[in-house]
Amino acid sequence: MKHHLLLLPLLLLGTVAALHLENDDPQLDIQVTQADLIQVVEGSGEQEGELALTDEVIQSEGEEAEVSTNQDTFEHEECPREEETIELSGHPGCKTCRYFLVRTPRTFRKAENVCRRCYGGNLVSIHSSGLNNRLQCLIRGINQGQVWIGGILEVWCWCSRFRWTDGSSWNFRYWASGQPRNGRGRCVALCTRGGHWRRVPCSRHLPFICSS
């Protein structure tokens, strides 16, 4: 009889512990998945900027799908005033190219819309270290620490790859340490210090660089 009385509290404790685990934070699994299970595809996939994603990561990244950069209709966005922008003309690979740093922060999608409607172009695509360095010098004084460029992570099924919003080839990359594997978000930002790239949630408001 004494043994049964001793077992009863232990059984009750086990039941309470099980209930506690069932009601644990549902976001925990997603956080662990994002940190541990995003993997860069080895070989040629990595060279093309591809990632292998779990279903949980696809769902969490899908919350940022307000990015839809292929739409032909633009939301009403005021074009930046002259005092909001800094223009940079040409670089060794393209003497006729023009770049506009817009210092007023916007989300990635709104920034892309401004580039299309106001400058007849897109968020900038970067295809060489020379251009990357020039743009990094241009943004050095921006106090937000990052600016939008035109890179975006396109997700389908269980895989994904990075692309430029202007449709040009993803043939150059300058990721910061641990990126893009350990990054958060589907959109790409250029860091003001060092000029490296990071994945950033597309809903963040950042200055941006347009090309035309």
> CA-to-CA distance for 190 and 211, rounded, in angstroms?
15
Residue 57 is predicted with a pLDDT of: 42
Please name which of 56, 45, 27, 1 lies closest in space to residue 160, comparing C-alpha atoms: 45
Record the tokens describing residue 84, joined without a space: 């909001």
Q: What is the pTM of this model?
A: 0.69
Record the tokens describing residue 31, joined without a space: 């956080």
> How many residues can be counted in the chain?
212
Domains in the chain, ordered, with CATH?
Answer: 80-155+162-211 (3.10.100.10)
- On the question of pLDDT at 4 being above 50, the answer is no
Annotate 14-57 with DSSP letters as a single string. HHHHHHHHHTS-THHHHHHHHHHH-EEPTTHHHHTTEEE--HHH
For the chain, what percent of residues have pLDDT higher than 70?
Answer: 61
Task: Write the pLDDT tens digit of every residue in 85-99.
Answer: 999 876 666 777 899
Task: Write the pLDDT tens digit of every residue in 103-141.
Answer: 999 999 999 999 999 999 999 999 999 999 999 998 988
Across residues 184-205, what is the average pLDDT? 96
Confidence of residue 75 (pLDDT cuts 50, 70, 90): low
Query: How does 25-62 read in b/e, with b if 16+ C-beta sit within 10 Å?
Result: eeeeeeeebbeeebebbeeeeeeebbbebbeebeebbe
**Higher pLDDT, residue 103 or 12:** 103
β-bridge mates for residue 175, sequence order = 197
> CA-to-CA distance for 126 and 132, rounded, in angstroms?
6
Evaluate whether 154 touches 160 at the Cβ level (below 8 Å). Answer: yes
- On the question of pLDDT at 14 being above 60, the answer is no
Task: Write the pLDDT tens digit of every residue in 25-48.
Answer: 333 232 323 333 333 332 233 444
Confidence of residue 68 (pLDDT cuts 50, 70, 90): low
